[in-house]
Structure 1
Amino acid sequence: MRILIATDAWHPQVNGVVRTLTMMADAARDLGVDVSFLTPQSFATVALPSYPDLRVAIPGPARIARLIADARPDNIHIATEGPIGLLVRRYCLKRGLPFTTSFHTRFPEYVSARSPIPESWVWRGLRRFHAASQAVMAATPALAEELRERGFSRVVLWPRGVDTDLFSPRQFDLGLPRPIFLSVGRVAVEKNLEAFLSLDLPGTKLVVGDGPARHELARKYPDAIFLGALQGEQLAQIYATADVFVFPSRTDTFGLVLLEALASGVPVAAFPVSGPKDVIGDAPVGVLSEDLGAACRAALAISPEQCRAFALNHTWESCARAFIDNIVHARRDSQHSTRTAA
């Protein structure tokens, strides 16, 4: 089976979407599935006006068509709703080709945080984008249910995984005052980092990540340490040195960093919102509270061994199998509908 994934989010971006797609694809190849990507690397790009660190592709229909023809896919999956996703969707609709999509990012909340555009307008556009999809993949049951309530159809689950070999408990000490409270992710307004940075906590606050709000937040909160974007072994070492992982976002659809922290034996403190609630649930590996400071302090008492054991149940192989199964079932349903209509 050959699957082509079209995505506007790609390297050198460092985010959950890129990590999910690359890690899942590696696991899928180990299962005998040929996964290729159609990404911004094939096009000229421009920086987003309010987000210069993110560059958006400027694709053309003819080039899109050639790249798809060269890939000779059996199935097409559209991972993002950007310029590449829009043109690949148009390509499929024009030729009557079935395709699947996935919902990764709460763009309505992100857009409204940066502009006066009403969330309802963005949700309307997203419903229209995904309406022709044979299956809309969502990371958690709560997100899937929310999408259905908002009028999305054919929503299916696509759970995430974590590299438990890379992200693991280890002896690593930065020599900073403890306890160490760590947050990892894009440093932008929609991540609600000030809810963490403004807390009165003992020890040290660490922030890993980059983004348009980094310099302003570093100036406003000089007691916090901003390490910039890290990946691989460097990132794994920072996770391992932390005592509590703080996740202040109220808008993330999943939060892959939660699993990375737990795999490192680090308990979670977060708000009781979709994302953390779906990842953690009732498991004794984190504290979810509207009082984020109290959650941070309470999380210090959680066993690192429990966190690690929880994360070991989430593998990239199971993520890849779910992705492949969703595509196979969607393809089968599409063929059945075509035969029935005939």
Structure 2
Amino acid sequence: MNEALRRWLRAVAGLAAGGATGLATLPLTPLVAVSLLPPLPAWRRRVLAAAGRLADVERARLARFLGEPAPTGAPGPGAFGYVAARLGPAVLGVLVLAALLAGVVYASMLLWLWFVAPDDPVTVLSSGVGGVLLLFLAVHGVLAVSTLEVQLARRFFGPGTQRAMQRRIDELAASRAGVVEAVHDERRRIERDLHDGVQQRLVALGMLLGRARRHGDQADELLAQAVAETRQALAELREVAWRVYPAVLDEAGLPAALESVAERAPLPVVLEYAVPEPAPRAVETVAYFVVSEAVTNAVKHSGAGRVTVTLERDGDRLTVTVTDDGKGGADPGGGGLTGLARRVAALDGVLGVASPPGGPTTVRAELPCG
């Protein structure tokens, strides 16, 4: 609720600033139109440069108040068209703000007009109710005009259809290459775990059984060691299988899988799960591996005493946050985090790592659920 109120107040400030810049747009609009017609006036460059500077101011305003990223680069034809089309939304924004102010004034009459005109309740009620209605419409009008401003900026400053499609193709090609590389890295890690762990256990087990056959007087002791090696090999094999894919994810869902991660960790892991409805299985799988890898890194490298895992879903977006109180300094380009970034990118998600020296380290993944 507080964040929504802050966004609305920023939108009000953005419309107010837009009304001010609209005053500068008013004289430039006909000048830009004339500058684009033949024969070209000698002052065309100055007019178009002024239009470009005004467009830069507008883009900065949109980025500051309405959350619309401001494109960079030299002003192009889109800046001229935007200046010509900007006047309408600017006037509309001023009118909405005026209606908002009038709504506040008239709505407040329900509180104080009784003392001024106690014998005229009809006037008090009609003025107050009309003010409340006007205030309600103006509040929503602020959001509507803000959305119009953003769409207008995207229309003139955003990439064209062909460019946007090409960028999307490049992103998909890069994410596919990243997924292939992540699969290869995972296979190499599994092979290393099997070779250095389970395989060595099985070799030791075979040697113990061979010695037990040759030395009957030490058979009991050697067989006891063999049983211990067998248990350890099974535990390591189970660990490798768990890293490949946790069966509990299919059997009991993501909460149970994350609880198992918390139980297996050698340090306290606090799990905060606020997901009202399950996400798609592919999203839950990536969320699980994000948590598992982040907790593993915290155990191995951070020197943390506590890890907090938070999962939240807002509409069609699942946010996974893993924070530890360790020493910080994690390298986002490390093998494990790079593999996670590729997994997340394969779902059009975003992975961020914040790990200043001294900590804390926060790994945050935003996964689309649509």
| Fold shared per TM-score above 0.5 | no
Which of these two proteins has the greater Rg computed from alpha carbons? 2
Structure with greater strand percent:
1
Q: Which has the higher contact order (CA 8 A, sep 6+)?
A: 1
**TM-score (normalised: structure 1):** 0.22
